[in-house]
């Protein structure tokens, strides 16, 4: 770790004095609770609703006319309220960008795992302060678009020191931190991939495990094969990390089957699936996380959400925000793409971007708006969540509460 310090979170003036006041948001045209016991359909929809924020939690939901007395009251004016988005897949600890690579792709060049090396060089050269400022900027950008829970991966350091510092910086911004030392084989190990796997499963893992909850591997041609991925995830599990996998993004491969075999929380991308892959996802507890920003930005074939849903798999939507394959932090954009091009209904896409993301992070306190859940919610400048797909590209998120605080 360089001697330079990593800035900590901004001190909360109310630290130590937990907010105890209550706020009712009334006159909500459509409230999405994601709790079928509270309203209609899988989204637990309540029309003409109210919701009470009690400190950092949801205290009450129900019809607006029955809203209890609270310290503060806010009239939603007939707009919609949805759970804050849960973005379960991002790569925000990086420096530089890859505009030239994007331009080349849009002129016909295809995407490959190799572009990651450009960002690795820029990230290694950046100071802790620069990297931290970048993460803060993209987390704030995501929050303005309704994201209240975000997972952040390392993977652009690829040395023990650079991976550990990436995780330390990510930890300043989220609890959902993922060790992705196995993003690609580090350039210095290009002709000794097995030695790099030894590093990732040995000293690098020892240095990184204390700073992460998850371990991930890019299981793909040009990155890590099935055997290497199994060794990496198994070592991570032994060190107390929970697995998730970049699987079947660019080609058919063993990633999805491996994710299910190891009970990974999530298999991410799932663009190229065999029937056996779909069956495995439907039969296991691994969430299929789809990342339409990547297909958009690489002009690739869309993942088939309909096929997964019809088979009974749990589907999440996430941004995959990174400077190479998907430089968007917008969950509403991903919802719109999933509805337009991946066969999802607006209800399914909203669920996948909230409760689905929570399932992919094995969280029960986020992704729903029922009493006891975290008070993470977004007020939309629209009468219902359907407008997120119906009005693509329009900044509909007009207010966001995170842990009960208007942010
Ligand atoms: O999820 N697939 C691997 N990792 C990223 C891409 C990273 C990059 O191109 O820099 C992804 O798409
Ligand atoms: Fe990714």
Note the pLDDT tens digit of each residue in 202-256: 999 999 999 999 999 999 999 999 999 999 999 999 999 999 999 999 999 999 9
The Cα–Cα gap between 299 and 304 comes to 15
What tokens appear for 117 in the block?
A: 């090396």
Q: Is the CB of 145 under 6 A from ligand 1?
A: no
Tell me which ligand sits closest to the C-alpha of residue 297.
1
In whole angstroms, give the CA distance from residue 323 to residue 115.
Answer: 10
Distance from C-alpha of 213 to C-alpha of 173, rounded to nearest angstrom: 14
DSSP string, 190-226: TT-HHHHHHHHHTHHHHHHGGG-SEEEEEESTTSB-H
Residue segments in the chain with a per-residue pLDDT below the cut of 70: 1-20, 113
**Cα(351)–Cα(361) distance, integer angstroms:** 14
Half-sphere exposure of 92 (CA within 13 A, CB side): 31
Which residue's CA is minimally distant from atom 3 of ligand 1?
A: 218
pLDDT digits (tens, 9 = 90+) for 5-45: 555 444 444 444 445 699 999 999 999 999 999 999 999 99
Q: Ligand 1 centre and the CA of 322: distance in Å?
A: 7
Q: 1 near 12, Cβ under 8 Å?
A: no
Cα 28 to averaged position of ligand 2 atoms, centre (Å): 35
Check residue 14 and give its pLDDT.
45
**In 252-345, at which residue ranges do the beta strands (DSSP E only) sit?**
266-269, 287-290, 315-317
Q: How far is the CA of 325 from the centre of ligand 1 (A)?
A: 5
- Predicted pLDDT of residue 4: 54
pLDDT at 3: 38
CA gap 353, 289 in Å, rounded: 10
Report how far ligand 1's centroid is from the alpha carbon of 92 (Å): 11
What is d(CA 211, CA 205) in angstroms, rounded to the nearest whole number?
A: 10
Whole-number pLDDT of residue 16? 44
Tell me how many degrees the CA angle 271-274-277 measures, rounded to the nearest 5. 85
Among protein residues, the one with the nearest Cα to ligand 1's atom 5 is: 325
Q: What is the pLDDT of residue 5?
A: 56
């Amino acid at each position: 770790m360089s001697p330079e310090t990593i800035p900590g979170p901004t001190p909360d003036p109310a630290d130590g004095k937990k907010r105890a006041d209550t706020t009712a948001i009334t006159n909500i045209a459509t409230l999405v609770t994601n709790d079928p016991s509270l309203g209609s359909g899988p989204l637990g929809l309540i029309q003409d609703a109210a919701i009470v924020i009690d400190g950092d939690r949801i205290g009450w939901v129900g019809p607006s006319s029955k809203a209890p007395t609270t310290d503060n009251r806010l009239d939603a004016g007939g707009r919609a309220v949805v759970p804050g988005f849960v973005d379960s897949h991002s790569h925000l600890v990086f420096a530089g960008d890859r505009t030239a690579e994007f331009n080349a792709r849009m002129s016909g060049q295809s995407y490959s795992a190799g572009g990651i090396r450009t960002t690795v060089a820029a990230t290694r050269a950046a100071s802790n302060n620069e990297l931290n400022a970048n993460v803060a900027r993209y987390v704030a950008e995501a929050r303005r678009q309704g994201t209240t829970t975000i997972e952040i991966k390392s993977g652009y350091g690829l040395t023990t020191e650079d991976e550990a510092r990436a995780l330390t910086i990510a930890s300043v911004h989220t609890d959902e931190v993922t060790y992705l030392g196995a993003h690609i084989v580090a350039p210095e190990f290009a002709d000794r991939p097995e030695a790099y796997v030894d590093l990732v499963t040995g000293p690098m893992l020892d240095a990184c495990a204390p700073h992460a909850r998850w371990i991930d591997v890019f299981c793909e041609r040009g990155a890590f094969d099935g055997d290497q991925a199994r060794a990496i995830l198994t070592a991570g599990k032994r060190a107390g990390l929970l697995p998730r996998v970049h699987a079947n993004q660019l080609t058919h491969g063993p990633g999805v089957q491996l994710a299910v075999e190891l009970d990974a929380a999530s298999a991410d991308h799932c663009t190229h699936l065999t029937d056996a892959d779909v069956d495995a996802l439907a039969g296991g507890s691994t969430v299929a996380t789809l990342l339409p920003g990547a297909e958009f930005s690489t002009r690739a074939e869309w993942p088939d959400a309909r096929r997964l849903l019809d088979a009974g798999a749990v589907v999440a939507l996430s941004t995959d925000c990174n400077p190479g394959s998907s430089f968007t932090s917008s969950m509403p954009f991903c919802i719109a793409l999933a509805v337009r091009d991946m066969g999802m209904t607006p209800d399914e896409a909203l669920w996948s971007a909230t409760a689905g993301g929570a399932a992919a992070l094995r969280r029960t306190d986020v992704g729903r708006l029922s009493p006891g859940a975290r008070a993470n919610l977004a007020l939309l400048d629209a009468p219902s969540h359907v407008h997120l797909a119906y009005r693509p590209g329009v900044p509909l998120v007009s207010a966001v509460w995170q842990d009960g605080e208007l942010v």
